[in-house]
Amino acid sequence: MPRFLIDVNLPYYFSLWRGEEFIHQRDIDDTATDEKIWQYATEKNLIIVTKDSDFSDRMILHTPPPKVIHIRFGNLKMKQFFAVLEKHWSNALLLVEDNKLVALYLDRVEAIG
């Protein structure tokens, strides 16, 4: 059963996000509005993984579900993107268990209760 919903603007073919725990928005509806994505994630109790600040802004005003992992570093080459994400992913997974919003930066991971 999926646990994470990967936003359409993130890589589809990405080894870190392969497996039963992950569903990519492209597999559901790659033209869905943020509202529809939010609703889908809420209904399925999925954690949204995104670079879109609209989801983290919305998360501040709502009680989970859904929770959000917000990737907050700019455009990088795929190899660099993967290296940064791989470095922080396990910490993000730990923090998202007890927090509604986790933000990943190039040099750190932050959580908001």
pLDDT tens sequence across 41-93? 999 999 999 998 888 888 777 777 899 999 998 788 989 999 999 999 999 99
Please report the pLDDT score of residue 93 as a whole number: 95
Both tokens of 1, joined, read: 């059963």
- What is the pLDDT averaged over residues 36-45? 94
Question: Residue 29: what pLDDT?
Answer: 92
Which residue, among 30, 87, 105, 94, has the nearest Cα to 67 in the 3D structure? Answer: 94
Q: Which residues neighbour 19 within 8 Å (Cβ) at sequence distance 6 or greater?
A: none
The Cα–Cα gap between 8 and 49 comes to 10
Encode pLDDT of 9-34 as tens digits.
Answer: 998 888 888 889 999 999 999 899 99
Q: Contact at 8 Å (CB) between 54 and 70?
A: no
- Token couple for 82: 């993967």
Local confidence band at 111 (pLDDT 50, 70, 90 cut-offs): very high
pLDDT band at 7 (very low <50, low <70, confident <90, very high): very high
